[in-house]
């Protein structure tokens, strides 16, 4: 199916089912419940899940397959965002041209940076990509202010010379990004008893694009090109000794990865038409590295899981404050309640990065394969118990 084997087809269908049912799966608690604060089924966060999933999928093609660790991938995310916003300002509020331009511009930018950076490998390659990303951030923040908007970022304005479509709505407002008349911010709500589920057009547009990007990544992983990238990761020096030039393959992987980042940047601008230099900062590049390693570098679904985990912690765990903690531990004696709040508080709220750091450390030490390896170990454990039980039944049966 779709040119994939049975296992990959099953994986693709599972991911499709998860993203389609996300409004239900991410809202497990009733609206009036104390646990409703852990619900993540609102449009903005669901959009971030799939957009950063695309970002991580692309980064995994470079890092997971070739072993080249880039600390500058946020530069392509930012370039894609700027390109998309400029398309909204000059041409149309339709997201298709904006996304196409974001991918093309990010790909060209990745070609230039990759052509220089890939002359080195290992830590030197990582430092070069980090340097290029920081230079891009500095240019966007100050030098190229007429193009990027500088510190305030690039935004839409009422006097934008938009060629196609309306410049101003009937109410005198700036038009919003749309797909052939469907506005990205439009949502429909479904109330089922105490549960409230939101279905957002922007989320499902991003989800469909993520499924396409995921399918392409599967084809890359299973292709001869992907096998060559694995050979480069295994032993590039030995590969070069065979007379095969590995540089075109690594450059192609770098450009494809950059185009994925540009796609994510274009989608971010399509959901919220604003582009800022902070998207190009080194912390954004480090975030995608964490996503990929937490989920499982070199696996297919791992980067998506890592992206979802980090964005959930960033948007849900970070909102828990002392007031909520006191509500959790109200049943304890006053002194013990205050002590528990003091112990837990540094790991949530503004300190959620500390929790993320501990989780990352534990994953690197005990689960080098990330969350995917953890799932595989659990599955193997239950398979082993089932096999042992069946074997035990076979040995206890009386002979006839």
Q: Would 140 be classed as within a structural domain?
A: yes
Q: Do the strands 178-179 and 154-155 form a parallel or antiparallel pair, or are they unpaired?
A: unpaired
Q: Would 248 be classed as within a structural domain?
A: yes
Q: What residue numbers bound the domain in which 214 lies? A: 6-26+40-277
Q: Would 68 be classed as within a structural domain?
A: yes
Across 261-282, average pLDDT: 92
Counting DSSP H helices and E strands in the chain, the numbers are 16, 6
pLDDT at 248 over 80: yes
Q: Would 360 be classed as within a structural domain?
A: no
Q: Would 244 be classed as within a structural domain?
A: yes
Across 209-213, average pLDDT: 96
User: Pick from 98, 103, 95: which is nearest to 77 by CA?
Assistant: 103
Could you give the 3-state DSSP secondary structure of residue 174?
coil
HSE-up of residue 348 (Cα within 13 Å, Cβ side): 17
Q: What is the pLDDT of residue 400?
A: 39
Q: Per residue in 118-151, pLDDT tens?
A: 999 889 999 999 999 999 999 999 889 989 988 8
Q: Would 113 be classed as within a structural domain?
A: yes
- What is the C-alpha to C-alpha distance for residues 388 and 400, in angstroms, rounded to an integer? 23
Across 16-45, average pLDDT: 89
pLDDT at 399 over 60: no
Q: What is the pLDDT of residue 205?
A: 95
Q: Which two tokens stand for residue 379?
A: 């599955």
Q: Per residue in 151-161, pLDDT tens?
A: 888 998 888 88
- What is the C-alpha to C-alpha distance for residues 163 and 125, in angstroms, rounded to an integer? 42
Number of domains in the chain: 1
Q: Would 63 be classed as within a structural domain?
A: yes
Task: Please name the residues in contact with 158: beta carbons below 8 A apart, sequence gap of 6 or more.
Answer: 167, 168, 172, 174
Across 85-100, average pLDDT: 93
Q: Per residue in 162-173, pLDDT tens?
A: 888 777 777 778
Q: Which two tokens stand for residue 232?
A: 């480069």
pLDDT at 100 over 80: yes
pLDDT at 204 over 90: yes
CA angle 262, 265, 266 (to 5 degrees): 85
> CA 292 from chain center: how many Å?
9
237 burial level (CB within 10 Å; 0-12, 13-18, 19+):
exposed
Q: Per residue in 282-328, pLDDT tens?
A: 889 999 999 999 999 999 999 999 999 999 999 988 888 888 888 88
Q: Would 398 be classed as within a structural domain?
A: no
- What is the C-alpha to C-alpha distance for residues 82 and 274, in angstroms, rounded to an integer? 8
pLDDT at 394 over 60: no
Q: Give the predicted TM-score (pTM) of the model.
A: 0.92
Confidence of residue 397 (pLDDT cuts 50, 70, 90): very low
pLDDT at 344 over 70: yes
68 burial level (CB within 10 Å; 0-12, 13-18, 19+):
buried
pLDDT at 385 over 90: no
Q: What is the pLDDT of residue 220?
A: 95
Across 261-273, average pLDDT: 94
Alpha helices in 242-369 (DSSP H): 247-271, 282-295, 302-315, 322-328, 334-344, 352-366
Confidence of residue 398 (pLDDT cuts 50, 70, 90): very low
pLDDT at 33 over 90: no
Which contacts (CB < 8 Å, 24+ apart) does range 353-358 have? 355/313, 355/317, 356/290, 356/310, 356/313
């Amino acid at each position: 199916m779709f040119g994939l084997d049975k296992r990959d087809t099953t994986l693709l269908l599972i991911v499709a089912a998860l993203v389609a049912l996300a409004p239900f799966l991410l809202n497990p608690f009733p609206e009036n419940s104390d646990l409703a604060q852990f619900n993540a089924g609102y449009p903005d966060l669901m959009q971030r899940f799939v957009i950063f999933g695309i970002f991580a999928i692309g980064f995994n093609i470079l890092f997971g397959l070739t072993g080249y660790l880039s600390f500058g991938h946020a530069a392509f995310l930012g370039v894609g965002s700027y390109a998309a916003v400029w398309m909204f300002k000059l041409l149309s509020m339709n997201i298709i041209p904006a996304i196409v331009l974001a991918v093309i511009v990010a790909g060209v930018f990745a070609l230039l940076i990759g052509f220089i950076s890939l002359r080195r490998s290992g830590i030197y390659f990582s430092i070069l990509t980090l340097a290029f990303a920081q230079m891009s951030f500095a240019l966007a923040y100050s030098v190229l202010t007429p193009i990027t908007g500088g510190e305030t970022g690039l935004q839409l304005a009422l006097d934008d010379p938009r060629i196609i479509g309306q410049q101003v709505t009937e109410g005198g407002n700036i038009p919003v990004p749309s797909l052939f008349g469907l506005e990205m911010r439009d949502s429909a709500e479904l109330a089922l008893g105490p549960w409230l589920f939101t279905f957002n057009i922007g989320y499902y547009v991003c989800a469909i694009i993520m499924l396409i990007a995921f399918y392409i990544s599967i084809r890359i992983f299973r292709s001869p090109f992907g096998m060559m990238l694995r050979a480069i990761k295994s032993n590039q020096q030995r590969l070069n000794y065979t007379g095969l030039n590995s540089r075109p393959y690594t450059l192609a992987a770098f450009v494809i990865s950059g185009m994925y980042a540009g796609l994510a940047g274009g989608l971010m601008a399509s959901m919220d038409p604003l582009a800022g230099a902070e998207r190009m900062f080194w912390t954004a590049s480090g975030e995608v590295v964490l996503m990929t390693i937490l989920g499982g570098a070199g696996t297919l679904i791992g980067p998506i899981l890592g992206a979802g985990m980090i964005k959930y912690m960033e948007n849900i765990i970070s909102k828990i404050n002392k007031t909520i903690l006191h509500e959790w531990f109200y049943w304890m004696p006053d002194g013990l309640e205050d002590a528990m709040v003091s112990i837990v508080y540094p790991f949530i709220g503004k300190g959620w990065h500390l929790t993320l750091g501990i989780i990352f450390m534990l994953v690197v030490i005990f689960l080098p394969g990330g969350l995917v390896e953890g799932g595989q170990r659990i599955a193997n454990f239950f398979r082993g118990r089932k096999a042992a039980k069946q074997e035990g039944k076979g040995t206890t049966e009386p002979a006839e």
